[in-house]
Amino acid sequence: MKIQKQIPVTAYKASGFIGKYQQLVRETVIPYQHSVLWDKAPDTEKSHVAANFINAGKALRGEDTADGFYGMVFQDSDAAKWLEAAAYSLAVHPDENLEKQADELIELIAAAQDKDGYLNTYFTVKDTEKRWTNLLEGHELYCSGHMIEAACAYYEATGKKTLLDVASRNAECIYNRFVVQDIKGWPGHPEIELALLKLYRLTGNEHFLILSKKFIDERGTDPTFYAHEAEKRDWTVWGCDPWDNDYRQSGKPVREQSEATGHAVRAVYLYTGMADLASETDDKELLEACRRLWNNIVQKKMYITGGIGSTVIGEAFTVDYDLPPDTAYSETCAAIGLLFFGGRMLENEINGEYGDVMELAFYNTVLAGMQLDGKRFFYVNPLEIDMGISGTACTHRHDLPVRPKWYACACCPPNVARLIGSIGAYAYGESADTSYCHLFAAGSVRFSNGMALECTTDYPYDMTVKYKVSGNGKLAVRIPAWSRSFAISVNGADFSQAPENGYVYIEVNGNADIKFVFDGTPSFVRASCKVPRLAGMTALTRGPLVYCFEGTDNGRVSELRIDRSSAPEVGEYDPNLLGGTVKLTAKAERITDCGGLYTSEPEQCTPCEAVAVPYYTWGNRGENEMRVWMNIC
């Protein structure tokens, strides 16, 4: 049973910090990514996404497809995520040209759908006879999932049903295979599970709930499934090990799982679907599994920035407390998936920790995944850059010091765009008598329970959040764990209430002006001694933001030692620095005599100041050193 649910994207109109990012997505990111889909972006990796759909349509009509299929097996998902981002933009900012571009792409997608509802350009253009024979690597269900999400978003934004009809026919095709014909199988890359639940709620078609439940319930019931599938074919996409079930979260049934393993994005997409199904069907056993998996991630396998997945080998979780900063993988998509997971857990139970982690992932790893001008993107989000090593040494080649324009595997850029466009749905929730503020997002919200609010704040740099609320019911606001103290006033009068599971509840009858003031004092943070790489080090945070030290401000960052005995100085908000930000300055020492490679001579240090900027802004001033975790004096 859902305790509360997300608001529709159309119910929130952003302003402030979130509004600025949505404007960037609308004016820069969506147009740029559209040019990439059509291979029109200069000096950018070719995607061939639109051309793949054109060629699939030709193949179905028996026409020549001279240039064939190009790209990854999951290339179709780039189109779907772009359409979803475009839909969220159109939902609050109608744009005739953007809608025309989206409709044009949708027409190509519809023409690429086979008569039985099957939709996938890789197998339609390249190998029709190989359909459904490689669930391990083929990503057919993954691509269908993203197309379903795009279809739901586009219908809700525009009322147009073409893509929704395409996605529904595709879902029925899948239902017929795996439910009606009862052919065994589940996705190698989870995603469709959560998408089918969105489609079920939008259409009311029980087939989509049944299909999602089947994929979740049967996953891991036969650990030999992928191996037996591989024995039946003589081809592969990447040569994946079909016995590595931990990699794809299928070593045991999901209700028995307790440790996050394998590919981090696959994991959190699966867990999101599990949490969504648990709330939809009131499945207590499934919810308990979700709690175990959530706790394992946030207590033992999550970076201070909300990033997850610590190794480049398989883009995966490793073991508990293995969180090296310099070789971190911390994929942008994985942080987005963790936010999805937290959002669905909040529909099962109100717990401030979910919002705390969602906020952490969003303001740090997700936003770091995109350059401040919206034109370059990180797939990987390291917590340390050492010039001459990061991006160069074979062990650190994945940890780039600057963001590339695009990727052959381009899952992250459109994923960032669609999340920023839909962040209101994660920031605010509702039940019949309560309106929830999970994240602090400036703008206006209209809840279906009759309440409405206007949120005014300069968060995440100013810690005052004001709500002008109308209607009748309760306003529930998360008190972030990082705030050591807080003050509340209602209509100018002090209001005192101890948080309940991280939230305070305020009765509203008619109209109310409510103000929250949180503690913006910077904090030095240390890691558990169980994280060996971080022993004796410190990081610096303020509010939801994790800070880092860059060479641009500090010279050789590796020479610095931070003095934690003095409180950092909080600078004034500077609108001209890194898109508008606040610096922190800490007392420090600098090693002035590095000596030879090894020496028995003591270090020579001089007092200095070390300047820190928010982690999400790093890498926007050219190649230079960067560290989140610093040695201490």
288 Cβ neighbours under 8 A, 6+ residues apart: 255
Other Cβ atoms less than 10 A from the Cβ of 228: the count is 11
434 Cβ neighbours under 8 A, 6+ residues apart: 4, 449, 473, 474, 475, 476, 505
Computed on alpha carbons and rounded to an integer, the radius of gyration of the chain in Å comes to 24
Asked about 411 being catalytic, the answer comes back as yes
Amino acid residing at 585: T
CA 118/CA 258 separation, integer angstroms: 35
* Terminal CA-CA length for the chain: 52
Tell the residue number behind the tokens 């990727």, with chain if given: 407
CA 360/CA 338 separation, integer angstroms: 10
For residue 238, what is the DSSP state?
Answer: S
SS (H, E, C) 437-476: ECCCCCEEEECCCCCEEEEEECCCCCCEEEEEEEEEEEEE
- The helix, strand and coil proportions of the chain, stated in percent and rounded to the nearest 5, come to 40, 20, 40
CA 76/CA 396 separation, integer angstroms: 30
Smallest Cα–Cα separation from 617: which of 304, 367, 374?
Answer: 367
What separation in angstroms does the CA of 282 have from each of 1, 275, 339, 432, 494? 5, 10, 21, 18, 39
- Of 152, 411, 412, 455, which is the active-site residue? 411
CA 185/CA 242 separation, integer angstroms: 13
- Of 99, 156, 315, 331, which is the active-site residue? 315
Smallest Cα–Cα separation from 291: which of 345, 335, 252, 360?
Answer: 345
Tokens standing for 122? 């890789």
- Which three-class secondary structure state does DSSP give residue 12? strand
Q: What is the DSSP string of 132-166?
A: TS-TTT--HHHHHHHHHHHHHHHHHHH---HHHHH
Smallest Cα–Cα separation from 493: which of 471, 472, 513, 470?
Answer: 513
Q: What is the DSSP string of 394-433?
A: TTTTTS-SS--S--SS--HHHHHHHHHHHHHHHHEEE-SS
Tokens standing for 519? 């503690």
**Contact (CB, 8 A) for 130 and 123:** yes
Asked about 605 being catalytic, the answer comes back as no
Known catalytic residues are 315, 411
